[in-house]
Amino acid sequence: MEYFLKKGIIFFIFILGVLTFYETPPVYADKAVIQVDHLNVRTGPGTNYDRIGKVHTGETYTILEEKDNWLKINRSGKDGWVAKWLTKVKAEQVTSDRHYSKYDYLRIRSAPNLDGKIEGYLMKGDVVEPTKTDGKWVYVQKGNTKGWVHGDYLTKESRDTHEPPKDEKSDDDQSSIVKGKVEVGTAVLNVRSENSTRGRILTRIRKGETYEYIAKKDRWYEIKYSSGKTGWVAGWLVNETDNDQTNTPASKNTYVSLNYNGTNLRSGPSTNYKIVGRGHKGDQFEILSKEGQWYKISYDSKTAYVAGWIVEEVNKESAATTPATSNSLKGRTIMIDAGHGGRDPGAVGRSGSYEKTLTLDTAFLLKSQLESKGAKVLMTRTNDQYISLSIRTFHSNRSNADAFISLHYNAAPLNVIARGLNSYYYSSKDKALAASLQTSMVAHTGLRDRGTKKGNFHVIRDNNKPSVLLELGFLSDAREEQTVKTRSYQLKASQGITEGLVNYFN
């Protein structure tokens, strides 16, 4: 008996030794790759469950469970559900690869987000083997320290010379070498937190403004803007300028005209500087120079600064003789009709968004744009209330409005693919107005041009004012819904409508 026991032990040790010569086969797990921005994460598998967060295009999560065409994932340490039809499912090999830290003092956090407590640091060249992922975050161990680091700051190469994004540099590494300057070449340009359209929008800058840049990567520039902050802008929307030019010089006889009452005039080019005075709508000041988004102006025999996004440049000579420029709506009254409201939600999007909410949000942005051009604005509703179609046209007909604009978002059956913008008119005399708005909206938003059409809608059919009904995108299309829900899109649409009205009236 003892003989057979010894033989069994020897055989077991032999088999164990043989197995060590073979590499452990890779494990595969289904992954969900997010296909849209701002995809809702819910507490359960359906749109009737509460939203607990959002995920974004390109992020990848391990699928924990699938139910009724919904996927259960783990995000930031919490389980949640996302719509399967807005993801791409793939099998991904889970391995324990060797990675290197790209930077010194790369933070190891207790959770897969920037709110996680700092547990320790990796130094440049430190080797780790990630064991799990959460979006772009990976779980690593260095000595006795375990936690999460952002995958963008690791590499499989042992050497890397890229500069890290700002929020993962060490606290005392806040200075950067200026490499040149860029001038904004489009009307409004987003400054983002990373060199990608998925980056968070930090601020917006405007055409003609000049900024120093400190890095270039993948056709993006990292620029310095207000108070030394940095962010990324798309390289194809800016132009490099002469590095010796320190400020944008003012043209001769150019002034700024204030768009609002109570405008703050400051001692320096940011909101961190103290207020040295206030101006009112229509006040004009000579431009001495332009620094980033701010104008340096002559004020009270001294100098002051005013924010460029709340003023307009004017030529003093032409302003004195021309009461309303070709870019103005001064003297015009526009009525904005935010479609639906109250018990009438309008179209419901794929992720649960309501048309009535989006039309009201857009209406307020449009109101601001129109008023900045000097127009007087009337609104059929200013909150979430139900107003009948006959009441809307009644208000329009008894007003002194020069145009009636009804805002809507579109929807199609789920088995129909439909995207883009439409402008509708009822009376042939309003066709030119609809065409002007359609052309301008398409130019500003980049959405598909579905054309100008005659529409038998009550609010334009029974309206004796120049009137149009605008469909600003399809909520039934998952991707387009995610686009039109954003403030940036609604602002572009509002700018397009405003420009279309300027062109029409002029």
What is the DSSP code string of 218-248?
TTEEEEE-GGG-EEEEEGGGEEEE-TT--SE
Residue type, 179: K
Residue type, 445: T
Q: What is the CA radius of gyration of the chain?
A: 29
List b or e across 464-475, with b for residues whose CB sees 16 or more CB atoms inside 10 angstroms.
Answer: ebbbbbbbbbbb
Place of tokens 């819904």: 481
Alpha helices by DSSP H, listed for 328-456, are: 355-372, 389-398, 431-445
DSSP E strands, 68-209: 70-75, 78-83, 87-94, 99-101, 106-109, 118-122, 127-128, 132-134, 137-142, 145-150, 154-155, 180-184, 188-192, 201-206
For the question of residue 240 being annotated catalytic, the response is: no
| Given 471, 480, 481, 499, the catalytic residue | 471
Q: Residue 2: which region, alpha, beta or left (left: phi > 0; alpha: psi -120 to 50)?
A: alpha
What is each CA distance from 157 to 99, 102, 103, 403, 485, in whole angstroms? 7, 9, 13, 62, 40
230, HSE (Cβ side, Cα atoms, 13 Å): 22
The single-letter DSSP state of residue 164 is P
CA distance 337 to 353: 19
For residue 352, what are the contacts with CB-CB under 8 A and spacing of at least 6? Answer: 40, 47
Q: Exposed, middle or buried by CB within 10 Å (0-12, 13-18, 19+), for 248?
A: buried
CA distance 134 to 73: 9
Q: Give the torsion through C-alpha atoms of 249, 254, 258, 262, to 10 deg.
A: 70
Which residues form the catalytic set?
A: 471
